[in-house]
Structures are given as C-alpha cells and as structure tokens.
Structure 1
C-alpha cells in the first residue's frame, strides 16, 4: 500500500503537528496493518451475518471503468434479518481483470459467493439492462444447476427500474426537436414582456 507511506512524509507530519503538537503519528507499516486487520475483521463479521441470516439473500451488481481505465465490479446484498429489518451490505468491490463479458462476471460473482459460503442462500440478482448481463445469468444458472440450487436466469433476474427509465427517456429525447437556442438577453426580454402583459391583464380581470 504505497498510499500508507504518506504518513511518513514531512508535509504530513508538519500538518498534524500544527493541529496537535502532542499527536503520535504511526508508521506506514502500522497504518497498513491496521487497515488490513480492520478489513479482515469486517469480512469475518459480514460472512457470519450472511451465513446466519434467517432467509434468502438478494444481490445487486454493477460494473464500470474508472477514468484511469481500471475496471471494477461492485456487489451488494439485501436481506431481512431476524428482527424484520432490511439489511444492505457491501459484499465485495472487485478489481476486474479481463473483459466485462458475461462469462467473466459470472466467474467473479460465483467465486465471491463461494468464498463466503452463501451460494445456496441466493434469491435474486438485480442488474442493469446491458447485453452482457443476459449472458451472465445464463452462465450463473449453469453453476446453480451444478450445485442443485433453484435459480432461473429469467425468473430470478430483477432489472433495474432506474436504468429502464433512463433508457426510455433517452429514446424519447431522440425524437424531440429542440427549438433554436436563445441568448440570455432574449430570454430575459421575453420574461419581462410576459410579466408586463400579466401585470396589465390581472387588474382588468379583477375589475370584472
């Protein structure tokens, strides 16, 4: 973790000492170990929660590429606990290697669930409407069949409503012809004219 080396820079020390001259600044190795320990403890706690959840678990996943061309896959899970409270948990944030193909996504998602021993608890998966997700579901269905898990690539696929609405609006906008752009002065002049006309009309209406 090269970022942890920041705590050993002179600039960082000067900043902390300015805020609190008595502050004890840990070494980069200490920060690194603390971060990793916290992460491992969270993973253990999360895995126990999911394994002991009383019912099935639904998942949502989405992949994207950062501006510096690094691909990621985010995986969240959603379930009802023993107190009937809805729980939302970030399960994994994967640095993807290889293409965003349905096969690759299915392999990554399957490994995530197998590592946490919750593959058999799956209920449904929500994704957007990208074409690779259709392949993803077909590939994941094969995994479920091999493990005798009841999962259907259409019945257990929840499509993101927000993404569907976004696609619909974009399609509508393609067929809407926008008028010629007006400059700011013209817009203000039209507004002023409208206000003046309204101011003249309202008294006449009231007098009647």
Structure 2
C-alpha cells in the first residue's frame, strides 16, 4: 500500500488505477474517449454559445485574419473577432483556426472568411471591418468575401516602409559593415572575452553585439 501512495507523477497508469480502486472501489475512472467525445464537445458548445451571444449583442464587429504555417509545415488560417461592450470593454474571440490544404490564393481565403461569417452568424451585420496584412491575396480575399471596410495592418505597413528605407544604398552599406563586425565577435570567443575586458576597463556596462534579423527591422 505504501508503494502505491507515491506522487501521481511517478505512478504508472495501472498503479494509479490500483490506488483509486483501493481508496474507492465503486469509482469508475473516466476513459480518454469519454473526455474526447463527451466532455470536450460539451465544453466547446457551451463556450460557443456564450461567444455567439456576445457577438449578437455587439453593435459593431471587426475581424482580423492571417495565414501561418505550423512546425509540421501545415498551413492554417485563423479568424479572430473583436467587439466592444456597452461598458467600453474590448473583447476578442478566436472564432476558428482552419487548415488550408489548397494554395493561399485570394479566392481560397475568401471561402474561409465567408464560412466563418456564416457559422458565427455575422452575416446580419452591416459592415464588418477586416484587418489584414498588405498581401495581395488578402486584398482579393476580403473583396471576394464581401466584407468592408478593409484596413491594412499599420505595424506591417511600418515594417515595409522601414525595410525600404534600410535598403537605401548608404544605409545598406553601413548595415553590411556593422553585420561583419558583429559576426566576427559572435564567431570568436577570444574576441568576445577581450571586448568584455575592455568594457570593464572603461567602466562601461557589459554588452554583447547583437545580430539583426531581416524580418525585424527594429533589430537593425
């Protein structure tokens, strides 16, 4: 009996069942199919009902959407709704994340958007603002889905403008020199140690040189 009273994290499945059977012989442990077929679907329907009610009560609804790829190289489209309550509280609901087995064309993405609008009863709203990135396929998708107005993500616009500015010859050449210096210290442990020593001699904070990332202009 003492052996079976080890922490659950180190008790195997059969040991756990013996322990429960000893404590309460009449208790039947729910199976995995019970949770996957009964508990989780019921929880989903309960949550969906609450979200649907919140969307019905909202005067204005906006949605954001984007495509992304998992580590297993599977493509998905996520649709999120945003509403403001009568108390001026912003609420966001991830309505769905659907796999996209076809190419990311505007027409295919439009079908996903139209499906989400119908499933969540948003088709009765007059005008649903949609926020996306600046990709051309998103332009086509929002237009084909009949949603309006279409608002381009400001952060993405800023990113594109900044990258264009950094590609100017003078800025690009300067960044190239800085990258070579930073790369040298990243490759050499000896140089890194000398850099740390010199900073200490000059009473400077101990910093390492950072390498910028092409997709994050603020790192440059």
In structure 2, C-alpha distance between the alignment counterparts of 1:161 and 1:63, rounded to whole Å: 17
Which residue in the other structure is 2:180 paired with?
179
Q: Which runs of 5+ in 1 are unaligned?
A: 1-10, 145-150, 200-208
Provide the aligned C-alpha RMSD in A: 3.0
Which is further off, 23-32 or 65-74?
23-32
Q: 8 Å contact 1:13–1:25 — kept in the other structure?
A: no
| 2:13 is the alignment partner of 1:13 | yes
Residue in structure 2 matched with residue 123 of structure 1 by the alignment: 128
Deviations along 1:86-106, whole A, 9 cap, x unmatched? 111111111223221111111
Distance 1:51 1:192, change over 3 A: same
- Partner residue, 2:144: 139
Deviations 1:45-84 (A, max 9, x none): 211210122x110101111122223221111111111222
Count of aligned residue pairs for this structure pair: 176
Aligned to 1:78: 82
CA distance in 2, matches of 1:93, 1:197: 53
Give yes or no for contact 1:75–1:93 (8 Å, CA) kept in 2: yes
C-alpha distance in structure 1 between counterparts of 2:124 and 2:161, whole Å: 35
* Structure 2 partner of 1:6: none
Q: TM-score, normalised by structure 1?
A: 0.71
Structure 2 residue runs of 5 or longer lacking an equivalent are 1-10, 205-220
